């Protein structure tokens, strides 16, 4: 039976000195542009730097991100971090998709530092992705690290591959979810999570 366990170890990165700027220079020429005109003279280097940042998740170590920020606490109520903004690149067209992620878990014996959850989201978002896998990877990774009673993740995103090309729908969004443990098995837990995500008040 195939395991659903998250893969915490990341891919072996290419050397940092790998230069993709010459490839961008070639692409610009094939698009019919003059890559040496003033506006494009430094574009290959800028694209090189931007792509390396936008795919920096391949070079992130989840264990180093967590950095021991796990705490033994007698707390068994839901912990929710919502409206985590993220940006990613669609692996099909390498166009951006962006949105917000809401992450919740029910602690069993320990909690994780709150700032670590957005960092985990970034580690998986800064790769070539699809929204469904991104949502699942975040949920499975938190499940693996904290070993809680359950994890719930909801992701809301807009995709430039739908907005700029193809169907060209400007206001369509996509929602995905991953429910593990109690969030999958208990309707009451799921309903509480959804209510907390949808709650707006006191500036939140």
pLDDT recorded at residue 115:
96
User: What local confidence, expressed as pLDDT, does residue 123 receive?
Assistant: 98
What is residue 170's predicted lDDT score, i.e. its pLDDT? 66
User: Is a pLDDT exceeding 90 seen at residue 179?
Assistant: yes
How do residues 58-83 score in pLDDT, each as one tens digit? 999 999 999 999 999 999 999 999 99
* CATH of residue 79: 3.30.1130.10
Are residues 35 and 82 part of one domain?
no
Q: Among this protein's residues, is 33 annotated catalytic?
A: no
Q: Is 156 a catalytic residue?
A: no
Asked if residue 43 and residue 72 are part of one domain, the reply reads no
Whether 92 is catalytic? yes
Residue 60 lies in a domain: no
Q: Are residues 120 and 99 both part of a single domain?
A: yes
Asked if residue 41 and residue 75 are part of one domain, the reply reads no
Catalytic residue among 131, 136, 140, 143: 131
Residue at 10 is within a domain: no
- Over 70: is that where the pLDDT of 2 sits? no
Q: Output the pTM of the full model.
A: 0.87
Instruction: With respect to residue 14, please indicate whether it lies within any of the assigned structural domains.
Output: no
| 78 & 165 share domain | yes
- Which of 136, 137, 143, 159 is an active site residue? 159
Is 171 in the active site?
A: no
Inside any domain, residue 203: no
In this predicted structure, what is the pLDDT of residue 164?
A: 80
111 part of a folded domain: yes
45 and 88, same domain (yes or no):
no
Does 108 share its domain with 47? no
In a domain, 13, yes or no: no
Same domain, 173 and 95: yes
Higher pLDDT, 113 or 5: 113
- Per-residue pLDDT tens digits for 83-104: 999 999 999 999 999 999 999 9
> Residue 151 belongs to what domain range?
67-198
Query: For this structure, is 93 an active site residue?
Result: yes
Same domain, 81 and 162: yes
| Residue 113 shares a structural domain with residue 167 | yes
User: pLDDT per residue over 110-161, tens digit each?
Assistant: 999 999 999 999 999 999 999 999 999 999 999 999 999 999 999 999 988 8
Question: Quick one: 108 and 179 in the same domain?
Answer: yes
Inside any domain, residue 4: no
Q: 3-state SS string over the chain?
A: CCCCCCCCCCCCCCCCCCCCHHHHHHHHHHCCCCCCCHHHCCHHHHHHHHHHHHCHHHHCCHHHHHCCCEEECCCCCCEEEEEEEEEEEECCCCCEEEEEEEEEEECCCEEECCCHHHHHHHHHHCCEECHHHHHHHHHHHHHHHHCCCEEEEEEEEEEHHHHCCCCCCCCCCEEEEEEEEHHHHCHHHHHHHHHHHHCCCCCC
Domain co-membership, 95 together with 38? no
- pLDDT classification of 3: cutoffs 50, 70, 90: very low
Q: What's the domain count of the chain?
A: 2
Out of 33, 63, 85, 91, pick the active-site residue: 91
Quickly state the pLDDT bin for 6 (edges 50, 70, 90): very low
């Amino acid at each position: 039976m195939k395991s659903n366990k998250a893969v915490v170890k990341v891919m072996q990165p290419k050397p940092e000195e790998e230069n993709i700027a010459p490839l961008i220079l070639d692409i610009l020429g094939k698009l019919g542009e003059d890559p040496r005109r003033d506006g494009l003279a430094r574009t290959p280097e800028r694209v090189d730097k931007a792509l390396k940042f936008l795919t920096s998740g391949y070079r992130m170590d989840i264990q180093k991100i967590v950095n021991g920020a796990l705490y033994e606490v007698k707390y068994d109520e839901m912990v929710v971090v919502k409206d985590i903004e993220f940006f990613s690149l669609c692996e099909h067209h390498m166009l951006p998709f962006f949105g917000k992620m809401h992450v919740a878990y029910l602690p069993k014996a320990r909690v994780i530092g709150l700032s670590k959850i957005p960092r985990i989201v970034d580690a998986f978002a800064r790769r070539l992705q699809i929204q469904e896998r991104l949502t699942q990877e975040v949920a499975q990774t938190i499940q693996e690290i904290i070993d809680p009673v359950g994890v719930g993740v909801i992701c809301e995103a807009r995709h430039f591959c739908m907005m700029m090309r193809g169907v060209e729908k400007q206001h369509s969004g996509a929602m995905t979810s991953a429910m593990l443990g109690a969030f999958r098995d208990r309707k009451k837990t799921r309903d509480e999570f959804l209510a907390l995500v949808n709650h707006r008040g006191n500036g939140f």
